[in-house]
């Protein structure tokens, strides 16, 4: 019997570059998906065919031989190794075909969705009870993608893809708390590709490690989190202990956390002020651009063109340094905005909210 599964990409509304700081994120799954179809083989070979935007490759994995990595980010093989190491008995071979309409290398979590959907199809083919558990799937995918290769990423993409919908995620050190938000956001989001490739791990490291080092440096004053500066403003005086470069990054994260909390209150009230939501997205992006330095001239051209044609707000999506961005707008203005930006040579698409990892008919 053939099994068909898929999982969504996501946009991060608030909390970009804050999941790995054990803070909070508000994200939405969108209707760009990674798909996989699988069927059992009579031998112990896992044969994977992958096709996507500008990518086509094949993996042949013999379960009777040690599975070694040909390169960093060898996520198909790492997913199998992680599953086996955690006691999931993969005893049969499978033919698995994978494809995607998610932009590759653009901050749209294409590698995460590939890993999530690959683990989902394996669990379905194995008929393992964890196939119904989005949190287990998210954590397995995180181990295969991030922990296995000691990469600097966080958990947002894995949870957003596995759970779907609109989520408020709180990343405590002990456990990630998942709060599905039932609020329906009026208007729409429009995704744009800057046509610039980026080095995700390099951008993540430049934004992540200086902040973690700064928090550690201020530990002697009782500071252990960005959250401390918001809950007790007396701690702000200690920022002068940091180098200027670290001060800028920490201050950007402090204001982005405040921005998220304002948005969280709005979503919890169920009364969405579209203009205010747009302003908060602009403010978040300003901190990412000026504080963390992850925007580019092309991203700024896209956003400014969209604003000139009626967009209410917008931001870079993902780790930054290229890739994709999106804007928020009234539906009546969406086509005008899309056309204006695409006329400058960029690719764009109007987005809808979508469900999480699932079995498809």
The answer to whether the Cα torsion of 259, 261, 264, 269 is positive or negative is negative
For residue 127, tell me if it sits in a domain.
Answer: yes
Q: Pull the structure tokens for residue 361.
A: 């008919």
Q: How, if at all, do strands 347-351 and 188-193 pair?
A: antiparallel
The reported pLDDT for the residue numbered 356 is 96
- Split into its structural domains, the chain has a count of 2
For residue 130, tell me if it sits in a domain.
Answer: yes
The reported pLDDT for the residue numbered 54 is 67
For residue 167, tell me if it sits in a domain.
Answer: yes
Q: Among 29, 254, 326, 330, which Cα is nearest to 158's?
A: 29
pLDDT digits (tens, 9 = 90+) for 301-344: 999 999 999 999 999 998 888 889 999 999 999 999 999 999 99
Q: How, if at all, do strands 324-329 and 188-193 pair?
A: antiparallel
pLDDT digits (tens, 9 = 90+) for 215-248: 999 999 999 999 999 999 999 999 999 999 999 9
Q: Residue 274 belongs to what domain range?
A: 188-351
The reported pLDDT for the residue numbered 172 is 82
The secondary structure of residue 164, as a DSSP letter, is: B
Q: Is the pLDDT of residue 284 over 80?
A: yes
Higher pLDDT, 69 or 72: 69
The reported pLDDT for the residue numbered 60 is 96
Same domain, residue pair 166 and 217: no
Same domain, residue pair 157 and 249: no
For residue 357, tell me if it sits in a domain.
Answer: no
For residue 335, tell me if it sits in a domain.
Answer: yes
Same domain, residue pair 246 and 331: yes
Same domain, residue pair 243 and 174: no
Same domain, residue pair 49 and 198: no
Q: Pull the structure tokens for residue 93.
A: 């071979």
The reported pLDDT for the residue numbered 207 is 87
Which pLDDT band, with edges at 50, 70 and 90, does 106 fall under? confident
C-alpha pair distances (Å), 3 with each of 92, 94, 99, 102? 15, 11, 14, 21
Q: Is the pLDDT of residue 72 over 90?
A: no
Of 164, 184, 204, the one marking the end of a domain is 184
SS3 308: helix
Same domain, residue pair 162 and 216: no
Same domain, residue pair 216 and 145: no
Cβ neighbours around 87 below 10 Å, total: 6
Of 184, 212, 239, the one marking the end of a domain is 184
Which H or E run includes 332? helix 331-342
Whether the CB-CB separation of 190 and 327 falls below 8 Å is answered with: yes
Cβ neighbours around 355 below 10 Å, total: 14
The reported pLDDT for the residue numbered 53 is 67
The reported pLDDT for the residue numbered 51 is 87
The reported pLDDT for the residue numbered 217 is 97
Of 184, 216, 232, the one marking the end of a domain is 184
For residue 272, tell me if it sits in a domain.
Answer: yes
Same domain, residue pair 302 and 337: yes
Same domain, residue pair 48 and 153: yes
The reported pLDDT for the residue numbered 160 is 94
Q: How, if at all, do strands 55-62 and 45-52 pair?
A: antiparallel
Same domain, residue pair 131 and 225: no
What contacts 50, CB < 8 A, 6 or more positions away? 56, 57, 58, 59, 76, 98, 99, 114
Cβ neighbours around 215 below 10 Å, total: 21
The Cα–Cα gap between 327 and 88 comes to: 42
Higher pLDDT, 36 or 203: 36
Same domain, residue pair 176 and 224: no
CATH number of the domain residue 195 falls in: 3.30.70.890
The reported pLDDT for the residue numbered 130 is 98
Q: Is the pLDDT of residue 155 over 90?
A: no
pLDDT digits (tens, 9 = 90+) for 175-219: 889 999 988 899 999 999 999 888 667 787 788 889 999 999 999
What mean pLDDT, rounded, does the chain reach? 94
Q: Is the pLDDT of residue 58 over 90?
A: yes
Which H or E run includes 117? helix 110-126
Same domain, residue pair 24 and 126: yes
State percent of the chain over pLDDT 70: 98
């Amino acid at each position: 019997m053939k099994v068909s599964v898929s999982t969504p990409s996501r946009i991060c509304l608030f909390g970009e570059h804050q999941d790995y700081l054990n803070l909070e994120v508000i994200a939405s799954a969108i209707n760009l998906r990674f798909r996989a179809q699988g069927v059992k083989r009579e031998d112990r070979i896992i044969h994977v065919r992958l096709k996507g935007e500008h990518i086509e490759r094949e993996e042949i994995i013999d379960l009777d031989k040690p599975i070694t990595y040909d390169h960093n980010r060898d996520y198909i093989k790492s997913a199998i190794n992680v599953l086996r190491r955690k006691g999931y008995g993969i005893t049969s071979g499978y033919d698995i075909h994978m494809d995607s309409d998610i932009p590759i290398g653009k901050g749209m979590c294409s590698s995460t969705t590939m890993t999530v959907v690959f683990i989902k199809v394996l669990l379905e083919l194995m008929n393992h009870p964890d196939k119904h558990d989005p949190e287990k799937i998210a954590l397995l995918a995180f181990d295969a993608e991030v922990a296995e290769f000691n990469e600097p990423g966080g958990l947002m993409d894995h949870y957003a893809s596995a759970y779907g919908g609109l989520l408020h995620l709180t990343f405590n050190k002990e456990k990630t708390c998942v709060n599905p938000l039932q609020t329906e956001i009026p208007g729409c989001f429009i995704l744009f590709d800057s046509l610039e490739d980026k080095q995700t791990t390099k951008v993540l490291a430049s934004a992540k490690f200086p902040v973690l080092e700064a928090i550690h440096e201020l530990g002697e004053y009782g500071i252990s989190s960005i959250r401390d500066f918001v809950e007790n403003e007396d701690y702000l005086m200690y920022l002068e202990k940091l180098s200027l470069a670290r001060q800028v990054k920490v201050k950007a994260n402090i204001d982005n956390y405040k921005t998220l909390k304002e948005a969280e209150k709005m979503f919890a009230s169920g009364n969405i002020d579209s203009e205010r939501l747009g302003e908060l997205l602009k403010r978040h992006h300003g901190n990412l651009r000026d504080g963390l330095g992850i925007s580019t001239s092309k991203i700024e051209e896209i956003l400014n063109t969209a604003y000139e044609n009626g967009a209410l707000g917008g931001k870079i999506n993902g780790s930054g340094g290229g890739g994709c961005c999106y804007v928020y707008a009234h539906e009546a203005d969406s086509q005008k905005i899309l056309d204006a930006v695409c006329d400058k040579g960029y690719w764009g698409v109007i987005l809808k909210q979508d469900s999480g990892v699932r079995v498809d008919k």
